[in-house]
Amino acid sequence: MSILNWSSLSLFSSKPLPLCKGKISVGAITKVLLRDLPPGRIVVLQHRDLDEVAAQELIDQKVKAVINCQETMSGAYPTHGPLMLLQQQIPIWEADAAAFESFTTNAEIAVYEDRIFLGDREIPCSSFTREKWLGMQQLANERTTKLMEQFIENTLTYAMRDMHAIMEPLPQVFLQTDLTDKHVLIVSRGKGYKKDLLAAKAYIAEVKPILIGVDGGADALLECGYRPHLIIGDMDSVTDKALACGAELVVHAYADGEAPGLLRTNALGLRAHVLPCFGTSEDAALLLAYEKRCEVLVTVGARTHMIDFLEKGRAGMGSTLLVRMKIGARLVDIKSIGLLYKRQGWTKEAGTTLFLSLFFIALGLFQLHWIVKRVAHVVWKLGGEG
């Protein structure tokens, strides 16, 4: 009888179990939300075309699920960000942009196949699937040629606009950190930055470069056990912990001198320089190190191609093109130096190889010694018999 009752409850239950439920963290700007995100949260975003860097950060933070109140992928350009989440069994639901204001951090929600329950409120949603990602990716690939034309036009337009600015020296910033004739490692939180920073371990240990974190790049350095000498940026994606680590701070300001990032450093009671400069914070860091007469500039996580810039909301790379033209041969990507030091550095594999080599050499010498003794014995015996 008890089995029949249990079966009846299962069959006639009017409300299915939720696919996902838990506390939420809400952020209109993903990189700001990621600064202090507790693990195991359902995150509610407004992130159109979810990029790979943000996806990897969400994976690293062990989020339970993503609710995106924007198009997770619009088909404007190719991106593997959504697929990365789905491959890690992190589900994605999309809700209407207007629904974003309904969510508040620490609220409890339950997510079903096509709706979200937030208290007494029911919010429609739809699941972002691998099939949808594949369709959007194919659409984006078909648009690539036209997209590249627009990107090149935008890049050249802004390069022409800013070409006179690149000729002028930066406003003077009196740093305590001396960069003259030194190697400088500039870390941005771009694609593959963690892997590249780990690959630079031997280089950092031997050369001991000046370490510059561009915004969240400072946290990347701290995560790998390094304290940055300088932090440069808008100060919007770097954590309070990194800002207070003792690094010298340089707030990247607009060319007209407006520096929104200064509000944050002032609120934390931290002293910071202000550097008005066109372009991105990465551009500003490169130019500052160059004008402080560094010997070599090494980049980690730097944006290098069209998709990198589009994912960061930049329709061109005019300033970056000009900066790299100005710096010239001093600029090196960590991938090149990482290969060199990987070959030269002492690794576990190298140690094992050397040990085995010495073992077999010793074994060979022992065998040779044994053979010589046997031959000498035979010769002596034959001589005695003669």
Secondary structure in 3-state letters for 72-126: CCCCCCCCCHHHHHHHCCCCEEECCHHHHHHCCCCCEEEECCCEEEECCEEEECE
Of 70, 65, 73, nearest in space to 112 by CA: 65
* Domain-terminating residue out of 84, 117, 139: 139
Residue 347 lies inside a defined structural domain of this protein: no
* Confidence tier at 323 by pLDDT (50, 70, 90): confident
Same domain, 197 and 108: no
Query: What are the φ and ψ backbone dihedral angles of 219, each rounded to 5 degrees?
Result: -65, -35
Residue 100 lies inside a defined structural domain of this protein: yes
CATH number at residue 23: 3.20.19.10
More confident residue, 307 or 43: 43
Same domain, 169 and 299: yes
Mean pLDDT of the chain: 84
Q: Is the pLDDT of residue 9 over 50?
A: no
In angstroms, rounded to a whole number, what is the distance separating the alpha carbons of residues 46 and 48? Answer: 6
Same domain, 335 and 276: yes
Same domain, 183 and 65: no
Comparing 2-6, 224-228, 355-359, 375-379, which segment has the lowest mean pLDDT? 2-6
Same domain, 331 and 205: yes
Of 301, 249, 254, 247, nearest in space to 277 by CA: 254
Same domain, 320 and 291: yes
Same domain, 178 and 246: yes
* Domain-terminating residue out of 139, 159, 178: 139
More confident residue, 147 or 268: 268
pLDDT of residue 217: 93
Of 52, 61, 126, 62, nearest in space to 305 by CA: 52
Asked if 233 contacts 281 with a C-beta cutoff of 8 angstroms, the reply is: yes
Same domain, 268 and 320: yes
Residue 360 lies inside a defined structural domain of this protein: no
Residue 382 lies inside a defined structural domain of this protein: no
Of 321, 68, 335, nearest in space to 198 by CA: 335
Give the chain's end-to-end CA distance (angstroms, integer): 107
Q: In what order do the strands lie in the sheet with 230-233?
A: 273-276, 248-253, 230-233, 210-214, 183-187, 296-300, 331-333
In angstroms, rounded to a whole number, what is the distance separating the alpha carbons of residues 200 and 185? Answer: 10
Same domain, 181 and 222: yes
Percent above pLDDT 90 for the chain: 55
pLDDT of residue 163: 82
Q: How many domains does the chain have?
A: 2
Could you list the residue range(s) of the whole structural domain that residue 97 is in? 12-139
Same domain, 105 and 171: no
pLDDT of residue 350: 45
* Confidence tier at 384 by pLDDT (50, 70, 90): low
In angstroms, rounded to a whole number, what is the distance separating the alpha carbons of residues 71 and 82? Answer: 11
> C-alpha dihedral over 145, 148, 152, 155, to 10 degrees?
160
Query: What are the φ and ψ backbone dihedral angles of 245, each rounded to 5 degrees?
Result: -80, -5
> C-alpha dihedral over 272, 245, 58, 66, to 10 degrees?
-60
Same domain, 110 and 258: no
Most confident of the following: 154-168, 267-281, 355-369: 267-281
Same domain, 46 and 110: yes
pLDDT of residue 11: 47
Q: Is the pLDDT of residue 223 over 80?
A: yes
How is residue 36 annotated by DSSP? G
More confident residue, 353 or 117: 117
* Domain-terminating residue out of 72, 106, 139: 139
Residue 383 lies inside a defined structural domain of this protein: no
Residue 355 lies inside a defined structural domain of this protein: no
Residue 42 lies inside a defined structural domain of this protein: yes
* Confidence tier at 316 by pLDDT (50, 70, 90): low
Q: Which helix (H) or strand (E) holds 42?
A: strand 42-45
Residue 353 lies inside a defined structural domain of this protein: no
pLDDT of residue 193: 85
Q: Which tens digit of pLDDT belongs to each residue from 332-381?
A: 888 776 555 554 444 444 444 444 444 444 555 555 555 555 545 544 55
Query: What are the φ and ψ backbone dihedral angles of 137, each rounded to 5 degrees?
Result: -65, -40
In angstroms, rounded to a whole number, what is the distance separating the alpha carbons of residues 241 and 245? Answer: 6
Q: Is the pLDDT of residue 132 over 90?
A: yes
